Amino acid sequence: MTVDDFRTVLGYAQQRHPARLTFRSVNRDRPCTGGGADTCSAVSHQPWDFTRVFAQYNG
């Protein structure tokens, strides 16, 4: 999943207004730099990009 995919999900959520919008493992919302797989993402992006997208959701 990419940051653009998250923007698509955000758009859907803003139209449908689910009570809760979450994603798995916020602690992995940064690229890997040699840490364990449970502390980073193999997806190329800037730290906290996915979190910033979902933070725009206001129900």
pTM (predicted TM-score)? 0.80
Q: Which pLDDT belongs to residue 35?
A: 66
Residue 37 DSSP class: G
Q: What is the band of 32 on the pLDDT scale with cuts at 50, 70, 90?
A: confident
Say whether pLDDT at 14 is over 80. Answer: yes
Say whether pLDDT at 36 is over 80. Answer: no
**Interval 35-56 mean pLDDT:** 86
Token reading at 37: 């797989």
d(CA 32, CA 22): 22
